[in-house]
Amino acid sequence: FVLLRYRVVEELAGGGCAVVEWRLETGRTHQIRAHAKFIGFPLLGDDTYGGSKNMALSLLQSRNPRSYHDELLQIVGRLERPCLHAATLGFVHPYTGEELSFHREPPGDFAEILHQLRHVR
């Protein structure tokens, strides 16, 4: 049994993709990726779980005017990994009971793709 919650934080590129916040209560390896595929919205750039570049490009282009198609082709062409980033991780330390929390900004490649997709209207 796996408990997972998510919410759409921001739609991008005419609704062709979105920034989604995932909250894992329990979990296994690839839990977010597998769940995203199961609900029909695989992670952008995730070839293993159905978010291939071809699928992403098809969805993005179908939701945006032709004037953006070349730009979207360039953005998707630069994807080298799934667009997944753990912005915040937190847990209770098993020995001390202290609540620990860690936050990291997205790495450069991820941040650049977000920036570009935010400017496709």
SS3 48: coil
Contact 109, 80 (CB under 8 A): yes
Residue 30 is predicted with a pLDDT of 83
What pLDDT was estimated at residue 27?
66
**The tokens 């098809």 sit on which residue?**
58
Q: Of 74, 53, 62, which Cα lies nearest the Cα of 117?
A: 74
Domain ranges of the chain: 4-119
pTM score of the predicted model: 0.83
pLDDT in tens, 30-79: 888 988 898 888 999 999 999 999 999 999 999 999 999 999 999 999 99
CA distance 34 to 25: 15
